Amino acid sequence: MTKSRDEQVFELYEQLLEIEQRLIPTGLHVFGRPSSATERADLLKMIASFDRPESGVRALPEEFIDDAIRVFQEHGSDAAVAYLEERGFQAGSVFKLLETVSTKLETNNEMDALVRALRGEFIEPGPGADIVQNPDILPTGRNTHAINPYGVPSAVAFARGKIVAASLLDRYKEENGRYPEAMALVLWGLDNIKTQGEGVAQALWLLGVRPVRDALNRATNVEAIPLEELGRPRVDVVMTVSGIFRDLFSPTVHLLDKAVRLVAHLDEPLDQNYVRKHVVEQMAHADCDADEAAIRVFSNAPGNYGTNVNFMVMDSQWEREETLGDLFVTRKCFAYGRDSKGRTIEGREARIAMDRALSRVEATYQNIDTFEIGLTDVDHYFEYLGGVSKAVEKRAQARPSIYLSDSLSREVKIRSLEETVRLETRAKTLNPKWYEGMLKHGFRGVAEIENHVSNTFGWSATADAVDDWIYSEVANTFVFDESMLERLKELNPHSAHSLVRRLLEANGRGYWETDQSVLEKLQEIMRDLEDQLEGVAQ
């Protein structure tokens, strides 16, 4: 079906808006330093753009946010409330919140708290979360506490989880004409703290179960949502959880394992219950009993963390891509849960069970819940979501569809990995507002730019998800612009060198097709940088 010209123009317009409206951090936090007025204005606008039903606060209308925050900063909250009232909007409760937040942002006790902590004195506790989602994290410089794992998923998280899981399945169905039989999900500890378990809720919804609370209001059990109510098959879910999640959310690990085992035992048609279908198929293997066939929660061996896929990529210590997926499984094939006799399984190596579970996966997914850290900001997204996707590719003999959700925008949005990489690249790596913000931090800022390029490369290595134009534009922006290259060399020649080397590696490994003349120029610049670095070393 070809789209009309108007439809194409409208789609382009929507994409431009999406990039323009994307929230991005425009610099690094400096320990002990309160935020500047401009930084405060940006944060206040973000905070004011979300409804907060729990405290009766409504988001400010988008068209007035900029002016209302300016009036607030220049003349105080009464003036801002009056400004909005003239435009027919009651904003008393929003500005009460913004006033508190603004005051807390103007002070900074981090250094004092650090000194007191070093003296072994008491540090006041405070919640750890994303500032936009929970402004109560202020003031900073407190002893961050997490969450009661028995409260996870919260009622709000479960309600949101349903919307995300439904959008995710809709998107897959749109592209493939049917529901996926099995998905692999990445669950992180900090994310589930920040959202009170949105990732956990999504896993439960895909399986088609809801949490049940005991007499002490602890989420310790699950019940099946009837198929008629669910209106779709139950999806098999392979959960790869971080070491942090395993440590912080032990009761939740057991809840997830219990959910899989409950669903596996429901007397339902196999085409409506893919967990049961796969468990039955798996038990046909002589070496596999029912307990073994229903293992779906995997993490590191006890006491271990991470996949090491990021280190392998960063150090260029690999030849074949499948090694990256194999390393992921080697690190993550430890089972957690409880068997049918009620005995706990605490990190038993279960490589065959994981290989088999992954061999049925058709889509992989991770939730992104903060504007502060995205796909290319850290190497952890590609080590986890990229790692599991590469492991699936070999075991299922097909590349899975890879998705991310965006629960940081007002409405939930599911994007493919490729779409998310493009959006992050345009909103951050190639956005002058972002990189100039980074460059104000000098040496560290250049390192951040180089990290973004390397993390982008990580998505080529694990998922072949990076378009050629991305590498070309990185080269044009940071290497072939002479004055930019001079700035990078001056501030941090090591990172400038790594950036150029990474671009050459992208071409060498077949992820970036470009002209020979471009490569020759890059090689020449790399030699210059090497000479400069040798000069420094002597």
Q: Which is nearer to ligand BEZ, 244 or 312 (CB)?
A: 244
Q: Which is nearer to ligand BEZ, 189 or 437 (CB)?
A: 189
What single-letter amino acid sits at 115? V
| Least Å from the CB of residue 383 to ligand BEZ | 8
C-alpha–C-alpha distance, residues 298 and 320, integer Å:
24
Element (H, E) at 405: strand 401-406
C-alpha–C-alpha distance, residues 3 and 10, integer Å:
11
C-alpha–C-alpha distance, residues 372 and 131, integer Å:
9
SS3 at position 240: strand
Which positions from 190 to 229 touch ligand BEZ by CB under 6 A, shown as an x/- string?
x---------------------------------------
Which positions from 2 to 41 touch ligand BEZ by CB under 6 A, shown as an x/- string?
----------------------------------------
Q: Are 277 and 271 in contact (CB under 8 A)?
A: yes
Q: Which is nearer to ligand BEZ, 84 or 391 (CB)?
A: 391
Q: Which is nearer to ligand BEZ, 193 or 275 (CB)?
A: 193
| Least Å from the CB of residue 402 to ligand BEZ | 18
With contacts defined by CB under 6 A, how many residues of the chain interact with ligand BEZ?
7
> How far does Cα 510 stand from its chain's mean position?
27
Region from 85-93, 188-196, 269-277, 335-343 binding ligand BEZ, contact rule CB under 6 A: 188-196
Instruction: Report the side by side order of strands in the sheet with 182-187.
Output: 344-349, 334-338, 297-299, 236-241, 182-187, 363-368, 401-406, 413-416
| Least Å from the CB of residue 485 to ligand BEZ | 32
Region from 108-116, 242-250, 443-451, 472-480 binding ligand BEZ, contact rule CB under 6 A: 242-250
| Least Å from the CB of residue 154 to ligand BEZ | 18
What single-letter amino acid sits at 284? A
Q: Decide: residue 462, CB within 10 A, 0-12 exposed, 13-18 middle, 19+ buried.
A: buried
Q: Which of these, 426, 479, 429, 421, lies nearest to 449 by C-alpha position?
A: 429
- Tallying the residues shown for the chain, one arrives at 538
Question: CB neighbours of 53 closer than 8 A, spacing ≥ 6?
Answer: none
| Binding of residue 488 to ligand BEZ (CB under 6 A) | no
Q: Which is nearer to ligand BEZ, 244 or 430 (CB)?
A: 244
Which positions from 117 to 156 touch ligand BEZ by CB under 6 A, shown as an x/- string?
----------------------------------------
For the chain, the first-to-last Cα distance in angstroms comes to 64
C-alpha–C-alpha distance, residues 319 and 324, integer Å:
9
| Least Å from the CB of residue 524 to ligand BEZ | 37
Region from 128-136, 187-195, 358-366, 519-527 binding ligand BEZ, contact rule CB under 6 A: 187-195
Question: Which residue in 210, 331, 380, 501 binds ligand BEZ (CB under 6 A)?
Answer: 380
Q: What are the start-end ranges of the H helices in 386-441?
A: 387-396, 417-424, 432-439
Q: Which is nearer to ligand BEZ, 187 or 491 (CB)?
A: 187
Q: Which of these, 191, 270, 266, 276, lies nearest to 236 by C-alpha position?
A: 276
DSSP letter for 478, please: I
Q: Which is nearer to ligand BEZ, 192 or 425 (CB)?
A: 192
Q: Which is nearer to ligand BEZ, 102 or 451 (CB)?
A: 451
| Least Å from the CB of residue 417 to ligand BEZ | 18
Q: Are 497 and 526 in contact (CB under 8 A)?
A: yes
DSSP letter for 110, please: H
Q: Which is nearer to ligand BEZ, 234 or 380 (CB)?
A: 380
Question: CB neighbours of 212 closer than 8 A, spacing ≥ 6?
Answer: 219, 220, 221, 222, 223
Q: Which is nearer to ligand BEZ, 190 or 357 (CB)?
A: 190
Residue 216 tokens, joined: 């002490």
| Binding of residue 245 to ligand BEZ (CB under 6 A) | yes
| Binding of residue 242 to ligand BEZ (CB under 6 A) | yes
**Residues interacting with ligand BEZ, by CB under 6 A?**
188-190, 242, 244-245, 380
